[in-house]
Structure formats: structure tokens, C-alpha cells
Structure 1
Amino acid sequence: MVVLSIVLGFLVVLSRGERDLDTKTRSSEKGTEWRDPSLPLLRSCQPAPSCKECILSHPSCAWCKQLNFTASGEAEARRCATKEELLERGCSPEELEEPHGQQEVLQDLPFSPGTRGEGTIQLAPQRVRVTLRPGEPQSLQVRFLRAEGYPVDLYYLMDLSYSMKDDLEHVRQLGHDLLLRLQEVTNSVRIGFGSFVDKMVLPFVSTVPSKLRHPCPTRLEPCQPPFSFHHVLSLTTEANIFEREVGLQNVSGNLDSPEGGFDAILQAAVCQEQIGWRNVSRLLVFTSDDTFHTAGDGKLGGIFKPSDGRCHLDSNGLYSRSPEFDYPSVGQVAQALSAANIQPIFAVTSTTLPVYKELSKLIPKSTVGELSENSSNVLQLIMDAYNNLSSTVTLKHVSPLPGVRIIYESQCEGSKSENQGQCNQVPINQTVNFRITLQAKQCFVEPQFLKFRALGFSEELTVELHTLCDCNCSDTQSQASHCSNGQGDLQCGVCSCAPGRLGRLCECSVAELSSPDLESECRAPNGTGPLCSGKGRCQCGRCRCSGQSSGRLCECDDASCERHEGILCGGFGRCHCGKCHCYANRTGRACECSVANDSCVTPGGFCSGHGHCKCNRCQCWDGYYGALCDQCPGCKTQCEKYRDCVECKAFQTGPLATNCSLACAQVNVTRALDPILEDNGWCKDKTLHDQIFVFLVKESGDQVMLTVKSQEKGADHTQAIVLGCVGGIVAVGLGLVLAYRISVEIYDRREFKRFEKEQQQLSWNQNNNPLYQSAITTTINPRFKEEAASPL
């Protein structure tokens, strides 16, 4: 049940995280949705009919508002392209519309230690306004200074089931010592107390009236009725009050092993007014010697209503509606603790330690410690956990914002962590830096607000988020003279014609559309073929091309160029009329070649002197291969070249053994004494006379020095070991079978002898089994006068 609970909770948290990080296109009621550029449909900038649609299509897109920028017949959508392409096509830099996001720091108060820990400023800046262009990332720099003496609120939540009886004695004396230890690190500390057992329904608690009044096994010892959660003491600075209230507590009892700790944690997190939480560092110490019930377990007691995640404490501090609501899930507990900025410390016994370690992975800024059997080490455990939590700085957003992708990068002392806003072991008065990257995936009509917080601390960074989803062209004119003397409005270099007017410059009226003379201007000179080559519309005697077609008659297709790795012109040029026009330092039909040659340089010249460099790659001559033409299958390597000489001079064997002195006259062989085999530069060779030998070649002019090392080859006992193991297994199996058959045979013989012995000692009817005993017993009452007897 425990494992199932943790798995279910993990799935809840995981599914929520996947929804937050979803980067696919989704519809939105707030504005236009932008598709993530990593998706294949938007790998590069594509033409768009307006400046607004252009900048929303891809973050690399720009718009040229220059008058008469597009050629005759060219679609106005061709004004949308990358900045480099537009400049190459003649667009003036002043006429480019390429809006970018920006940020403005609204509040950046300096760090301050505060007074007695109150009013401390550790996070900067505190408020930032960010404007995002969809798809374009913006990075914020955030600083955190761990201050000394930061205030602490600690709420002690204890399991009061009967098995924790001896632990309660130590907790009764905890208040004074705990306050003294915490006051060593902070001047402002408060402690509170609460307890829990389980839901008061079967099968969790016995509902027998006497057991409800006194659930402990021994009636002579103090015991209180069972309860789900009891808030005993609100947070206070008085240690004597803590010890007095805890001293009045007694253990209780329940039936099953798991406890109702999740109910208690949730109520302690959401009932902030009753607990008395301040806006400071909040710690919740959870002590138990057993596991926990989670969502779904309430069905065993007939509870089907899910936990509503609200505060339900009555005037006595009891969770009054416990029998009505099911246990909360792991996801609900994690969300409630995170929303309340509470850092849980799970102090549990060794038997349940693995379960709570897995639970801690699902709850941000939590830690687990091993509790002794009688909780005698609880004070040291709390202090160790506090030091660990306070020295860990984790930056997170308070609540996700749909349509915004958030990436963290921590820049800690001596380390840098990608995609994780956390620094560990941060000492007091040290500053750590974080980089938050924001990327909008959609447009927002109204400003949105994101809050970031260092977990466990009260300060927040508020980001006021705006989106940049339209062009701010400065050439906007009503009834512009450029548009045929006032026949249309000019915006971003494009004419929006008045009703009844058509054309790129609003130069003709609707009545002129059907004129045969105008249509003839949109056909080939011989008058045949479709209008505008079937790739556009004829308006006012001119072709308005669609898509990526261009030319007077839309005869050029600017999407039919060669592709490299599936990308038009390899992404290193622009396509015009079926031909790639490559950018600088690129060449080839698909701009696939780089004119650089740095990848071909080798110590022996280009391509090891065995080829030539083309497209920054080596083209090897016949007989050579490899990225640098440094391999030759028909050429002998040094190892192959001198192998026979080594064999004949060192071991007097091999194909040159009879003519060794003549064939290897220029080769000197030296035998090394140490048998160590090395890999660096040594030629390994085959086994010879049960020896493994290697040799090192050093060429000097026409002399070759060979150093030979060898070592004895150990005998190969693999076959003997395998056969021995198989034989041993077979022998043991046969022995077991034989022993079994012998034992059965002995048992059968004994039974048969006993049968013969019974047969010889008794006179019995051969038709009956002498070992058979009747199941009927007959008795006679001696006081009964009649002869008849009654069988029983």
C-alpha cells in the first residue's frame, strides 16, 4: 500500500510538471499562439503577408517596410525574411522592423541584514518588467545573499500512537534545549506543537466504545482517545509554555500500522492563522515510527470524498471533518507545503527511512533524518536538518504561467549548474547568482505576473510580463500619396486599399478586373498558358504571385532550389528562381560547401599529403581512406613491415628464419627484461611458443631499432573449468535422485514388513484390511435394561 501511494503521488506531480513544460502548440483565449521553433514546421523564417504575422511566425524573422521593396509581381509576403537576407536583397537598415524583447528593473533594493532578523533583504532585484517577443528568450540576473540571523518558525508535529510512548518523554523536555540551540543561529525563533494518530473509523481505529475512550493495551497507564490531528500549541517564544503543553499530552492508539500523518501535515500547512506562521523561514518537524496513509486508503473505511485541501480545525484545535474527507495525496501535500513556503524535516526511524527518502524527492526543500528508537537524538537531528536546509538556496517560481517557458541556471561558488536553480552549502554572507531565462509561447492581451522565491525564505521577485506581438512602424499614413494618390492607407510599407480599389499600389478599380487587355498582360507573349503561370492572380494587368513565386509572370519558383540535409540551400543561402545564392564563405549547388579548409589540415600538409580539400573535407586519392586520408589498406604498417624480422631475430622462427641475417640486415632487435605489456606505440603480435610478444619500432635513417618484450602465456583452463562445473552439477543431480529413490524404497519396505507382522499376529477375515479401523464407536449404557445398544 505504501509503495502504491508513493507511485500514485509521483504520477500526480509528474503529470503536473509535464503540463507546465509542454512546448507544443496549444490554443489560447488570451491571444495568438506561437509554435516552439524546435518543431519541424518552423525551422526557419517563412514569408508572411503582414508585419504582425511575420514577427509571430519565428523569432528570426524581420520585416522590410521600404517602399517598392518587392519587385514587380513579387508577393508582399517576401518582405518577411531573416535580417541578413533582407539586407542582401537591398533593404535599408533604417527600414527594417525587427522588434526585440527588453527588460527594465523597477525595484532593486540593496541587501540588508535587518534588525534582529526582521526585514532582511536577501533577494535582488525585487521587481522587474520584461517584454518578450514570442519565441525569443530573455535572461534575468538574480542575486541572493544568505543573511545571518534569519528568523525561524518551527512547528513540531508528533505521532502519538502507542508505539511512540517512550519518545514522548524526550519531547516533553525538548522545548528549552531547542530554543537555546536555535537562538545560537538566529535571534528570532518561535516553536509550536501538534500531534496526530489516525482517522476514527474502522479499520484504522477500533470503534468499540471502551476502546474509543481508552485505546491503549493496559488500562492502568495514561491514555487519551484517538484523534486525526490536534493543534496543541501555536507558535510561541516561551519554552516553558511548550514544555507545559507537551507535558499534558498522552499517547493514544490505533489498529493498523500506517498513520494519518498526511492529514496533519496538510492542516498544519493550510491553517496558517491558527498555527501562527510568520512570513519567515518556516520549518515543520514531522516525527513518526511508521509509514503514512495516502489518497485512496480512506475507501477502506467507507470514505470516498477526496480531501478539499482546506483548513477544518475547530475551536479545540481538532481536525473535525476527518471522517468526512479522504487522506490527501502526495501531490496535495507537496503543493500545500510549497504554497505555504514550509520546509518539512522528516525525523523517522530506520525501518521507515527508505519510504520517507522517496517521499522527500517529491516535496521541494525537504530533508529526512534517522530518529533513534526513543527520539533521544531529535534535537541534534533538527539542528543538522536546519543547517542543511538553510545552506541550500533553491530558486523557484511560485506558480506556473501557461504559455511561458522558464529555465534556471545557477552560478554558485566554484560551480555552474545548468537547468537547475539551486546552490548547496552556501555559507552566511555569501552571494550566489542565478540566471532565469523566460520564453513566451503565446501573446498576452494583459500583463501577466510571475513570482520567484528562494524556497524557505520570504522575499519574492515579481516579474511583470508583457508580450511584443505587433510592429510599431513609423510610416503609418491614412490616404497615403504612395498608394495611388490617396486610394489606400500605408502601413509598414504595404498599401491597404480603400473599398473598390485593388492592386499593389491600389492602382485600379474592381470594374477593371474583367478587361481582356489587362488579362493579356498576365500571360506569356504568345497568349497561351494559364494566367500568371498558374502561380498567382492577375490584378490590374499585373501578376500578384502567391507563395514563394516571383517574376513578372510568376515564372520563378523560389522554393525549388537544391536542398542540403532537408534544408533549402542548406540554410546558408537564399533561393531565387530555382538557384541558390550562397552567403559569404559558402559554395555549392545547395550552399553545402564551406570555402574554409581548416578541417583538412594535418601535420603532413593537407589531407596527409594523400588527397585534396573540397568543401572543407578531404577527397582521398586512390588507395587511401579516412577523414584525413591517413589510412591505406594496401600499404604495410610498421607493425606488419617488421613483424617477420622480429620473429626471426628474437625467436629464430617465422618465414625469414632461414635468411634472417640478410633480409633483416638493417634491423637491430633488443630483448627487454621486464615483461610489462604497454599500449602506447607498441605493436601487438600473435602468440608464439606460448609467449605473447610486443615490439616498439624506432626508425633512424636506414637503421631500425626494435625493442621486444614478451611474457609467458598462462595456460587456458577455461574448457576444464566449464567441463568441471557441468560435470559437478550432473553428479550432484544424480546423487539427489539416487538418495530420493533409496529413501522411498526403504520407507516402502518398512511399511510392507509392518503389514505382514499385523497379518501374522491377528486372526482376521482375508477379505478385510487388518489395518482398517472403523469410524463408528458403539457404547452401552449399563443402566439400560434392554439389550439394544445405540450407536453414537
Structure 2
Amino acid sequence: MAAMRARTLAISLGLLLALGSGQREPYAEVLDPEEAPEREDLLPSGACRRVTSCKECILSHPRCAWCKQLNFTALNEAEDRRCAQRQELLARGCPPEELEEPRGRQEVLQDEPLGHQGATQLAPQNVRLQMRLGETQRLRVRFRRVEGYPVDLYYLMDLSYSMKDDLERVRQLGHSLLNQLRRVTSSVRIGFGSFVDKTVLPFVSTVPSKLQHPCPKKGECQPPFSFRHVLPLTDNASAFKHKVEQQNISGNLDSPEGGFDAILQAALCQEQIGWRNVSRLLVFTSDDTFHTAGDGKLGGIFMPSDGRCHLDADGFYSRSGDFDYPSVGQVAHALSTANIQPIFAVTSPTLPIYQELSKLIPKSAVGELKEDSSNVVQLIMEAYNSLSSSVTLEHSQAPPGIHISYESQCKDTEIRKDTGTQGQCNQVLINQTVNFWVNIRATECLSGPHLLKLKALGFSEELSLELNTLCDCNCSDVQLQAPYCNGVHGDLECGVCSCATGRVGPRCECSEAELSLPNSGCRPSNGTGPLCSGKGQCHCGRCSCSGQSSGDFCECDNAGCERHEGILCAGFGQCVCGVCHCDANHTGPACECSKDTSKCMSQNGVCNGHGSCHCNQCRCLEGYYGIQCDQCPGCKTPCEKHRDCAECEAFETGPLASNCSLACAHVNVTMSPTPLLDDGWCKERTVDNQLLFFLVENEADGRVVLRVRPREKGADHTQAIVLGCIGGIVAVGLGFILAYRLMVEIYDRREFHRFEKERRQLNWNQDDNPLYKSAVTTTINPQYQSQNEGSSG
């Protein structure tokens, strides 16, 4: 038992010495070793699983190794102790040549220099990659935009009736466009194609007369068609002009056009179009939107586009009525696969729609086309320059378990981590070199070599990357019926025995029949408890411990110590029989506490005098916080702390005025009539809301020296302000009253004038009231009459 403990301590001491030596072993041979990420020496506890075969070991972690040395494990140790990180195995006595440790590496098979033969833009061109599972390989890819790179441009035009004026412009396009492109490259070719829409209802009228002449007005007009390839790519501008002059306008019924059919056929029919392996541009001109997948059902077309070329001998899309329009994703995939960069030259009403479409199609551009296409050459050149100066590196479909990310370095700036699955650099100048770092990690074993393609969108060159995963050991000690394994009872491979049926034990030394015998040698002398403490197996009266257990009866657990932040013994000690043996500068049950105090020290002492140092971290007093307890939100600032004393000493006012001599005995105040006010001066408001300016000149030894600026005496304007406010209120009130009276007066006068006007317009005599009727009966008093008569007689 004592010998076992001594051996365990010796192994632990050897491991500490190995870890302290600072030796590092590279695990991947990269193109530039200085750029490879530095690996850590310590692995998290349990990273190397306790397994019994070399293959399982190397699959557990990319830094795990297997010791195949014979007799490496002690008699009471299981063979799974052979799996550990390299430093630990070396410290335990495993010779370096006995370590089985497959390493990931990169092998450059072809690396033509950039600019080679005037056309090489992407390097390297062929790389073979060997990867351990979980290991990240960092591959550097260089790109240089060369001058005069060849260009193929295919002009695809909408020939619906609304594009009649544009056709006249395009007929004169060939020479000017070729001349502009030849300023950029000496090798340029141009082709032409046109489209209208599917020749079925409701897209095109199927009335025979309308099929022959679909245009709304008389004149030259050709029958409608879906797509027609007119001119293969050529450097002859006259041939372009001649072919385009033969084209006539056509027509359809609805607004959206069949442009997607045309784009797809132009990308798929590469032989007919005549595409070279150079920069490929497809200029798409239209003044309307496009039909997409599903619209074909309106015309009774239900079969999805099959993604194949269907051009007949005359260049027409022969099966337009059989297949539905392609989807946006199908068009984007076809363009990307054919390495074609589309330029959408469209009129202003449809510009927002095509801008959204461009976001879904890699390496595409959109420009606003004038109503008569007069700016098409300028638009194409601007789009070409924009596309050529944008470099996007992407990869083909990766197999399951392969994860790829990108980092970019553009214009000698710092390395930037790209989002998504592409590397991106914009505004790349001619002859400028940009770097991409491709990070590749495998989490599953590949069945065999897998070829992955890396390419810069819009450029013809590719990088062929052969991926291989290292998922097995290549041990050279394979021996059948090895004497080490008791001859016929076992075979030797990678330092361990593979026993025949019926045999067990590290060296196949026991038969299964012997297992039925009493196992007294696998229990302590008192004979109690499970065999091998329940942490191993009893073989022929001897415990073979598993995992991190050790001892004659596997009673010691070398992985049962306390952990800190999930790391056994915090990574600063060794676990021996359940107890952490800490390094010299660490302490604590999990070695989590550093004895160093450097992080606690400040100019004002330990934790600025506001806390204590524990495990090289400050524990602050209540009210203080910060790494060194240097912050206190509830504490007064120096200006707030000396404000009251500055006020009472200088002006005999403030909250301390009655007790200034005692409360501010440590303060010496001098008046400065014309101070230079800068950021060092305190600007505080007193209780009576006046500004107080002072400067704290010294706070040493408990004495405080302040310099105070005298207050500026000014006139008391309180009475004037009060009278002004009252006068303003009275004036506003009088103004409202006068305004009200004026409005009433105006209203009354207006009503009076209206009344007078109506009276003057009356056409009857006001003296004859039509409503008045006089009395019709007259009563005579007879007495009155007789009296008159008598008197008269």
C-alpha cells in the first residue's frame, strides 16, 4: 500500500515537472505555423475518456494520445489509463516513440503564385487536409484581382411591346459596349437573347390572329415566345448589330414577363450560349416584374421546372408550355453553379422589386434603366466594376459533420470574423491581395476522402480541398497469438491484448472458469464491501481498477476531489485519493485560491483601504465596489465634501455657518478674485441656489487647502421681475377683453348692414301693411244724431 502511494506521488511530481517545462507539441501542420492558434497545455478534466482501445481514445478528444508500451500500466491498473494527454503520458514514463497520436495536417499539392501567366487570382489551388475529430484546421486562402481578366457578357432583353423604344437603342449598343469593356480587358465577347412570356392563356392571347400579331398597333411585330437565344457569345460587334436589327417587338397580355425562364435557360445551356471559363455577366433588361413558380398553374401548367436545357435548333425554349416558371431559389442556384453574375437593368417603377430579388441571388447587381435605355452602357459598366471589386469566397456543399467558418483580412486591416458561410471583401482594387482564413472542423468521421470546392463568386478559378478524417490508430505492433498475451490465448494490438473466447485478464492470463473461485484477494482483509470497492474488476484475485481509481482494492478515487468552475482542483493541483495537492502558490480545498495579492494592490494600499484581499481578489466593505474597491456610488465627491466648509469660511453662510470654526478647523481658505476656471475647479450650488466656485489645492495630512472665487455682486431684480409679471398678466387680460369686444362689434355691425340691405330690396310700400285689415261694420249712435238735429233746428 505504501509503495503504491509512493508511486502515485512520483507520477504526480513527474507530471507537474512536465507541465512546467513549457514544452508544446503542434497538432496540425498548417500553411503558416505562426498563424496557427496556440493550443493549451491543460485539458478539462475528463476530456480524455477512460476507454480500452486506441481508436476510442483518439476519438474522445483531438489532444488525447494512447501509450502502446508493453507493461505501461501497473498490475492493479486498467488498460484505460493508457489514454491521456501527451504530457501526462510522458510524465508517467511512456517513451515518445510509443505514443500513438494521429495529428491533423495540411498538405499543399498545388500552389501557383498569384498572377502566374497573368491569370492566377486564387491560391493555393489544391490542398489535402487530415483532421482529428473536434480539431479546427485553419487554412489560408489568398486572392489577387488581376488586370485585364477576360469577360463574357450575354444581353438578355424583354421584347414585350412596352420595350419598343428600347429596342432601337439596343440595336446601336454593340460597338459602344465592346469599346467600354475593352478598356478593362482585351478579351471580351458579347451575345444576345430575348424573351416575352409563355404562349398560353392567360399570359398570351391564343386567338390565331393575335398569335401572329400580338401588338396593339399596326407595324412590324413578331409572334410571342418564351425565350429565344439569338446570338452566341462573339467578339464581333457587327454580328451583334446585325442580329439585333433582325429582332422585332412582340406582346403579351399580363404585366409580369417570363424573364425567369430566359435566365434559367441562359445559365443551363452553356454550350449553346458559348460561355467560356472567364468572368460571366448576364445583363437582364426589362420594364416590368417577373412570373415565378406557381404562376404557371393559371395556364394549366403544373409540372415544376426540371432544371435542364431545352433549346431547339432555332434557339427557342421548346418546352415552355410543359414546365412551370422556375422559383427564385432555382434561378439563384443555376446562376451560382454556372458562375454567372446577373446585372438587372430595370426601370424605376420596378426597381424596388429587383433590389429585393438581388438580395436573394449571390453576386448580383441592380441599376435603374432610363425609359429609352439610353444609359444602359453606363449602367453595365458601373455594375461590372462593382461586381469585380467585390470578392466573396464560398464552398460547395459540405458533408455531415464538417463545419466551416470564415475570417477575412481586407486592405491590410485586422482580421474580421465573417457571419454566415462566406468570406467577404469589398472595394478590392486591381493587383490588391486579400486573405481569407477558412476554419474547418470535423465532428463526424468521413467514410473516405471528400472533395470540397472553394471558389470566389464570379471568378472561374477554384480551390480543390480533399478532406480526410483520422478516426483510427495505425499501430505497428500488431501480433497474432503474441507471447505477451499468453500465446494462443490472445492477440496484441496497440499495447493491449485481445483475448480469445473464454480468456480474461490484462494478458489473457485467466480463464472464465477461474472467476467462480473465491475472490478474497479483491477485498480488504476484513472481507467486507464490494469487490474492488465497486470501482474495478477482479481478475484472478487481483483488482483491475477503472477510471481514475487506484490502489490495491481501487479504494482511491483520483477524480473525486473538489472542483472549481467545473475543473478538477481548479487546474492548479493534482487529485490524489480524493484530496487536492495544490501547487505552491495556491491553496483551498479545490486549489481555487491564489496566494498572490498583486490584483489587490493599489496606490492607496490593499484594496484602496476599503476592503480585504482574498484569493487575489478584493472583498469590498459595504458601500464600495470595483476590482480594487475604488468606486463608491453613495460616497461624496471631493467637491461635495468640501462645499459647506468653503461657503462658511469664505462667506459665513451655509449649513455650517453657526459652527464653522469647529466643523472646518482643518480647512484653510484663500480668496482668489480672478481665478483661471478649468476642469479642476468645483462648481457647486449652495442651499440658497447660488453658484460657488472653489479649487481643492491640497488634502495631505488631514489638512485641506481651498481657493475660493468671490461672489459677483449684482442688482436685485426681484421687484422688477414681480412687477413685470403682474403687468404682463394685466396686459394679456386687457388684450383678450378688447379682442372680444372688437369681435362682438364687428358681428353686430355686419348683422345691421345685412338688415339694412334686405330692407332696401323690398318692392312694396311699407305704409300698406298686407297683414292689416280695417273694420267692415260702422255703428252710429242715434242719440248723438238726434241731439245734433235738435240743436240745429
TM-score, structure 2 length as denominator? 0.77
Paired position in structure 1 for 2:424:
422
Cα distance in 2 for partners of 1:77, 1:231 equals 69
Deviations 1:538-559 (A, max 9, x none): 2211223344433322223344
CA separation of 1:658/1:204 partners in 2, compared to 1, >3 Å: closer, same or farther? farther
When residues 228 and 710 of structure 1 are mapped into structure 2, their CA distance, relative to the original with a 3 A threshold, is farther
Q: Which residue of 2 aligns with 1:286?
A: 284
Q: CA deviation at 1:573?
A: 4.9
1:386, CA displacement in angstroms?
1.1
2:104 maps to: 101
Q: Which amino acid aligns with 1:318?
A: F
1:581-629 CA distance string (max 9 Å, x none): 4568654322333454443232334422444433221234688654213
Render the CA deviation track for 1:507-558: whole Å, top value 9, x for unaligned: 2222211112xx1111231122222223332221122334443332222334
Counterpart of 1:494 in structure 2 is 496
Q: Conserved in 1, the CA contact under 8 Å of 2:686 and 2:692? A: yes
1:142, distance to aligned residue in structure 2 (A) = 2.1
In the alignment, what sits opposite 1:232? 230
Structure 1 contact 573–583 (Cα < 8 Å) conserved: yes
Which one-letter code corresponds to 2:283 in the other structure?
V
Q: State how far apart, in whole Å, the 1-side matches of 2:349 and 2:676 are.
A: 54
Matches within 5 A, 1:27-38: none
Between stretches 179-188 and 313-322, larger displacement belongs to 313-322
CA contact (8 A) 2:694 2:706 kept: no
Q: Report the counterpart of residue 343 of structure 1 in structure 2.
A: 341
- Which residue does 2:393 correspond to in 1? 395
Q: 1:136 to 1:316 in 2, by over 3 A?
A: same
Aligned to 2:86: 83
For 1:520-669, list aligned pairs within 5 A: 520-571=520-571, 573=573, 575-582=575-582, 586-620=586-620, 625-631=625-631, 637-648=637-648, 653-660=653-660, 663-664=663-664, 666-668=667-669
1:216 maps to 215
Residues 655 and 631 (structure 1), Cα distance of their counterparts in 2 relative to 1, 3 Å cut: same
- Quote the Cα distance in structure 1 between the aligned partners of 2:610 and 2:580: 32
Pairs within 5 Å for 1:110-189: 110-112=113-115, 114=117, 120-189=119-188
Q: Residue 85 of structure 1 contacts residue 574 of structure 1 at CA under 8 Å; is this kept in 2?
A: no
Task: Show CA shifts across 1:372-392 (max 9, x none).
Answer: 222111101111111122222
* Contact 1:199/1:205 (<8 A) preserved: yes
CA distance in 2: counterparts of 1:111 and 1:388, whole angstroms: 22
Q: Report the counterpart of residue 374 of structure 2 in structure 1.
A: 376
The alpha-carbon deviation at position 652 of structure 1 amounts to 5.7
Partners of 1:262 and 1:573 lie apart in 2 by 67
Q: Which amino acid aligns with 1:373?
A: E
Match in the other structure for 1:321:
319
Q: Which residue of 1 aligns with 2:718?
A: none
Deviation (angstroms), 1:80: 1.9
Q: Which amino acid aligns with 2:186?
A: N
The structural deviation recorded for 1:574 is 5.0
Distance 1:298 1:557, change over 3 A: farther
User: CA offset at residue 693 of structure 1?
Assistant: 6.3
Which deviates the most, 581-590 or 173-182?
581-590
CA distance in 1, matches of 2:619, 2:559: 31
Provide the rounded CA distance (Å) in 2 between the counterparts of 1:363 and 1:217: 35
Match of 1:513, SS state, is helix
Deviation track 1:303-355 (CA, whole Å, cap 9, x = no partner) reads 22221111111222111222222221221111111110111111122222222
Whole-Å Cα distance in 2 between the matches of residues 698 and 134 of structure 1?
A: 66
Q: Which entry has the higher C-alpha Rg, 1 or 2?
A: 2
The separation in 2 between residues aligned to 1:640 and 1:306, in whole angstroms, is 78
Deviation for aligned residue 1:166: 1.6
Question: 1:289, 1:691 → 2: CA distance?
Answer: 71
Q: SS of the residue aligned with 1:464?
A: strand
Partners of 1:262 and 1:707 in 2: CA distance: 81
Structure 2 distance, partners of 1:478, 1:577, is: 38
The answer for the alignment partner of 1:721 in structure 2 is none
**Offset from partner CA, 1:433-452 (integer Å, 9 cap, x none):** 22222222222232111121
When residues 229 and 561 of structure 1 are mapped into structure 2, their CA distance, relative to the original with a 3 A threshold, is same
> Structure 2 CA distance, aligned partners of 1:353 and 1:43?
59
2:533–2:555 CA contact under 8 A, matched in 1: yes
Are the equivalent residues in 2 in contact too, given 1:199–1:227 (CA < 8 A)? yes
Change beyond 3 A, Cα 1:99–1:215: same
- Contact residue 674 and residue 709 of structure 1 kept, 8 A: no
1:144 & 1:472 partners in 2: Cα distance?
A: 37
Whether the 8 Å contact between 1:73 and 1:544 is mirrored in structure 2 is yes
Q: Deviations over 1:736-765 (max 9, x none)?
A: xxxxxxxxxxxxxxxxxxxxxxxxxxxxxx
- Describe the shift of the 1:341–1:540 C-alpha distance in structure 2 as closer, same or farther (beyond 3 A): same
Q: Is the 8 A contact 1:595 1:615 kept in 2?
A: yes
Distance in 1 (CA, whole Å) between partners of 2:373 and 2:634 is 78
Tell me if structure 1 keeps the 8 A contact 2:45–2:567: no
TM-aligned CA distance change 1:558 to 1:307, over 3 Å: farther
Counting only pairs closer than 5 Å after superposition, residues 369-518 of structure 1 correspond to structure 2 as 369-415=367-413, 416-419=415-418, 420-484=422-486, 487-516=489-518
Corresponding residue for 1:311?
309
* Equivalent residues in 2 for 1:185-264, closer than 5 Å: 185-218=184-217, 220-264=218-262
Q: How many residue pairs get matched?
A: 665
User: Shift in Å at residue 644 of structure 1?
Assistant: 1.5
Determine helix, strand or coil for the equivalent of 2:108: strand
Q: Distance in 1 between matches of 2:74 and 2:685?
A: 74
How far the C-alpha of 1:487 sits from its partner, in A, is 4.1
Corresponding residue of 1:66: 69
| 2:50–2:546 contact (8 Å) kept in structure 1 | no
CA contact (8 A) 1:675 1:710 kept: no
Shift in Å at residue 87 of structure 1? Answer: 4.0
CA distance in 2, matches of 1:324, 1:605: 86
Q: Deviations over 1:390-436 (max 9, x none)?
A: 22222222343333222222222232332352222222223222222
Gaps in structure 1 of 5+ consecutive residues: 1-40, 713-792
1:64/1:79 contact within 8 Å kept: yes
Q: Report the Cα offset of residue 175 of structure 1.
A: 0.5
User: Is 1:72–1:552's contact at 8 Å kept on the other side of the alignment?
Assistant: no
Q: Which moved more, 1:274-283 or 1:303-312?
A: 303-312
Q: Which runs of 5+ in 2 are unaligned?
A: 1-43, 715-793
SS of residue matched to 1:63 = strand
SS at match of 1:328: coil
After superposition, the Cα gap between the structure-2 partners of 1:583 and 1:708, relative to the gap in structure 1 and judged at 3 Å, is: farther
1:184 Cα shift? 1.2
Q: Which residue of 2 aligns with 1:56?
A: 59
